[in-house]
């Protein structure tokens, strides 16, 4: 079965559920870049590439819901990290495939989703992960819903590391070494200021 198709139907998940310790606990998705919330950058850039989009958030639901998209919360307690967001996203996604991106990396490429799906040529691959040319960027991921149970078992065992979970599934890396800006993120106020300068200069 050949399903290598840029029109592969996908759900999109924006991850906005972290504690943001390096931002002093502020909700990064609601912080602004060029007078627009970071999560709105994700909606504007990822939204047109997918068939539906969800926001994974663990606080400030009213503000996220005001953006007009479905908001979900981790089913695993205690801010358990991106994998918890993936798990809940897979449970709520309407499509078999779900592509993810963090809300604090606003410069998502317009061909991000097509490229993430380009290696899906058969049912033998469960997951693709973006690679920036130096390292994996595992919060930029494409997952099939069939990994849901594996992910649930992994989290139920108290595990949290994405790299370790990938050992349990069939996955492939997608080369994004030509798109380094996509992985710039706002982990700190200084990072956000750097992104602001970049956006205004472009």
Distance, in Å, from the CA atom of 32 to the CA atom of 30, rounded to the nearest integer, reads 6
Mean pLDDT computed over 1-21: 69
* Reported confidence tier of residue 6, pLDDT bands at 50, 70, 90: very low
- 123 domain residue, yes or no: yes
What pLDDT shows up at residue 81? 82
**Where do we find the tokens 């609601």?**
30
- 190 domain residue, yes or no: yes
Q: Report which of 122, 134, 88, 94 is spatially closest to residue 4, judged by C-alpha positions.
A: 122
What pLDDT shows up at residue 5? 46
- 1 domain residue, yes or no: no
Token digits of residue 153: 């078992």
* Reported confidence tier of residue 122, pLDDT bands at 50, 70, 90: confident
Q: Report which of 130, 133, 112 is spatially closest to residue 177, judged by C-alpha positions.
A: 133
- 3 domain residue, yes or no: no
Contacts of residue 47, defined as CB under 8 A and 6 or more positions apart, other chains included, come to 12, 53
Work out the number of other CB atoms within 10 angstroms of the CB of residue 152.
Answer: 16
- 4 domain residue, yes or no: no
Distance, in Å, from the CA atom of 18 to the CA atom of 29, rounded to the nearest integer, reads 9
pLDDT in tens, 135-181: 999 999 999 999 999 999 999 998 889 999 999 999 999 999 999 99
Instruction: Residue 114: give its domain's CATH number.
Output: 3.90.550.10
Please check the confidence at residue 58 and state whether its pLDDT lies above 90: no
- 140 domain residue, yes or no: yes
- 46 domain residue, yes or no: yes
Structural domain range at position 68: 10-201
Number of domain units in the chain: 1
């Amino acid at each position: 079965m050949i399903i290598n198709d840029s029109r592969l139907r996908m759900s999109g998940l924006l991850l906005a559920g972290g504690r943001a310790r390096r931002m002093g606990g502020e909700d990064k998705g609601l912080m602004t870049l060029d007078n627009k919330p970071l999560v709105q950058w994700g909606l504007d850039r990822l939204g047109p590439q997918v068939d539906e989009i969800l926001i994974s958030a663990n606080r400030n639901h009213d503000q996220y819901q005001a953006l007009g998209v479905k908001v979900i919360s981790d089913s695993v307690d205690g801010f358990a990290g991106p994998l918890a967001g993936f798990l809940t996203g897979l449970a709520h996604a309407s499509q078999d495939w779900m592509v993810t991106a963090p809300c604090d990396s606003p410069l998502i490429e317009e061909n991000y989703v097509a490229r993430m799906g380009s290696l899906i040529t058969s049912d033998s691959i469960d997951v693709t992960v973006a690679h920036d040319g130096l390292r994996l960027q595992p919060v930029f991921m494409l997952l099939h819903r069939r990994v849901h149970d594996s992910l649930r078992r992994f989290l139920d065992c108290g595990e949290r590391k994405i790299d370790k979970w990938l050992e349990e599934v069939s996955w492939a890396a997608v080369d994004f070494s030509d798109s380094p800006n996509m992985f710039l993120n706002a982990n700190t106020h200084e990072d956000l200021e750097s992104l602001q300068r970049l956006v205004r200069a472009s």
